[in-house]
Amino acid sequence: MLVFSGVQPTGTLHIGNYIGSIKQWISLQKEYPCVFCIVDLHAITVRHVPAKLRTLTLDVAATYLAAGVDFERHILFVQSEVAEHTQLTWILNSLAKVSELKLMHQFKEKSKEDAKNINAALFDYPVLMAADILLYKATHVPIGHDQMQHMEITRELARRFNAQFGEVFPIPEGVLHKFGARIMGLDDPTKKMAKTASSAYNYILLTDTIDEARDKIKHAVTDSGREIIFGEKKPAVSNLITIYSALTDTPISDIEKKYEGKGYKEFKEGLADAICEFLGTFQKKYKKFRSDEKLLNSILDDGAKRAKKIASKTFAEVRDAVGLGRGDSK
Ligand code: TYM
């Protein structure tokens, strides 16, 4: 078993990214070998500023470490530093169908956001993601719900490759957080929390100050009634309970019990306290890692070396299976 996951360095991460994805890594790394990637090649599928991308790459590395990624036991690296990711993408492109890529929700949404820049890389984004995962023969991929469609394509490409060229890849599975796979916007519980949301009241960033976070929780949308209960009839409150539960590792039923007979005001105060405690601890560690670029660079250098070792071995197998070159990976 091997775990692979990644985040794009496109901006500061929010608590949805943390709960849906990174938090799961921290528990999985106790049991399984893990490879954690900063997917900078995915980040250039939308317009970007080169110098900013560099800064964000180190920001994301510091975020992984502050969240608790164990860089000694596991691999932490930058995607573009291991060339096999793009090389395997090309080979998988020969198996991917234009018709199935056209169905991807994320492609459709991002095409709407910037209609003048629907580039070929944005279209091919899921194939690069499949290459990321398959290059390490990963079996488990902790992600948020919005990435499940990309996971299905990855599984399909692995099956197709194995059927055509012989068994090379295990079929990987997406791993979803039990309740937090889709953290919703604080200002609109019908849409997922997203860094691209038009209002900052949609999300809590991992870099938000305590005052900003408290203010956002105070303004968070609630449902009719006043009971703190989890369920379909209370989408806004359920989302807040989920955040509370995930950040404090408290079962949902314990939170319902704690706030039985109490109103939204008291619940929101408790939630704001929990979020602020989490942010305080996280930010202290983040500052420490982010201010030590020498350490960050040495962790990423070492990670790229270790990742390259696995990636080049798989890629040699792939080349031979596909019939590229003159055999035996020449
Ligand atoms: P990205 O950078 O958009 O998001 C990082 C992770 O955060 C999850 N996420 C959420 N989870 C719960 N609630 C939300 N509101 C929420 N918003 C985002 C995402 O599902 C994701 O897991 N394509 C990926 C990056 C990637 C990747 C990979 C992931 C590239 N290659 C290989 C896993 C394996 C992405 O865009 O994530």
Q: Calculate how far, in angstroms, residue 7's C-alpha sits from the geometric centre of ligand 1.
A: 6
Q: Which residue has the tokens 């202290």?
A: 284
- Known catalytic residues are 110, 192, 195
Residue-range definition of the domain harbouring residue 255: 200-287
Distance CA 184, CA 110 (A): 19
Q: Give the full edge-to-edge strand order of the sheet including 34-38.
A: 75-78, 34-38, 3-7, 140-142, 173-175
**19, two tokens:** 């709960």
Q: Indicate whether 83 and 206 sit together in one domain.
A: no
Distance CA 74, CA 310 (A): 13
Q: Indicate whether 153 and 220 sit together in one domain.
A: no
Q: How many residues in total does the chain contain? A: 330
Q: Residue 194 domain-assigned?
A: no
| Residue 38 φ/ψ, nearest 5 degrees | -105, 110
% of the chain residues with pLDDT over 70: 100
Q: Indicate whether 57 and 120 sit together in one domain.
A: yes
Which CATH number characterizes residue 268's domain? 1.10.240.10
Q: Is the dihedral of CA 282, 209, 182, 250 positive or negative?
A: positive
Atom of ligand 1 nearest to the CA of 17: 7
Whether residue 50 is predicted with pLDDT greater than 80 in this model: the reply is: yes
For ligand 1, atom 29: residue with the closest CA? 6
Whether residue 57 is predicted with pLDDT greater than 80 in this model: the reply is: yes
Whether residue 61 is predicted with pLDDT greater than 90 in this model: the reply is: yes
The reported pLDDT for the residue numbered 196 is 86
- What CA–CA distances, in Å, run from 170 to 2, 5, 134? 10, 16, 8
Distance CA 315, CA 308 (A): 10
pLDDT per residue over 71-98, tens digit each?
999 999 999 999 999 999 999 999 999 9
> Sorting pLDDT into bands at 50, 70 and 90, what band is 329?
confident
Q: Calculate how far, in angstroms, residue 217's C-alpha sits from the geometric centre of ligand 1.
A: 23
> Sorting pLDDT into bands at 50, 70 and 90, what band is 117?
confident
Q: Calculate how far, in angstroms, residue 321's C-alpha sits from the geometric centre of ligand 1.
A: 31
Name the domain boundary from 271, 287, 303: 287
Q: Indicate whether 243 and 271 sit together in one domain.
A: yes
Q: Indicate whether 22 and 148 sit together in one domain.
A: yes
Number of domains forming the structure of the chain: 2
pTM: 0.97
Q: Calculate how far, in angstroms, residue 286's C-alpha sits from the geometric centre of ligand 1.
A: 20
Q: Residue 187 domain-assigned?
A: no
Q: Residue 190 domain-assigned?
A: no
Distance CA 292, CA 281 (A): 18
For ligand 1, atom 24: residue with the closest CA? 7
pLDDT per residue over 120-132, tens digit each?
999 999 999 999 9
pLDDT per residue over 149-163, tens digit each?
999 999 999 999 999
Residues with CB under 6 A from ligand 1: 4-8, 16-17, 19-21, 39, 42, 129, 132-133, 141, 143-144, 146-147, 150, 181-183, 192-193
> Sorting pLDDT into bands at 50, 70 and 90, what band is 177?
very high
pLDDT per residue over 290-315, tens digit each?
999 999 999 999 999 999 999 999 99
Q: Indicate whether 143 and 270 sit together in one domain.
A: no
Distance CA 309, CA 107 (A): 32
Taking alpha carbons only, the member of 162, 278, 167 closest to residue 217 is 278
Whether residue 195 is predicted with pLDDT greater than 90 in this model: the reply is: no
Taking alpha carbons only, the member of 13, 31, 42, 58 closest to residue 195 is 13
Distance of CA 14 to the CA centre of its chain: 11
Q: Residue 84 domain-assigned?
A: yes
Least confident piece of the model among 175-179, 202-206, 306-310, 314-318: 175-179
The reported pLDDT for the residue numbered 327 is 82
The reported pLDDT for the residue numbered 113 is 85
The reported pLDDT for the residue numbered 80 is 98
Q: Residue 192 domain-assigned?
A: no
The reported pLDDT for the residue numbered 330 is 77
Q: Indicate whether 275 and 251 sit together in one domain.
A: yes
Q: Indicate whether 45 and 107 sit together in one domain.
A: yes
Determine the longest span between alpha carbons in the chain, in angstroms. Answer: 74
For ligand 1, atom 31: residue with the closest CA? 129
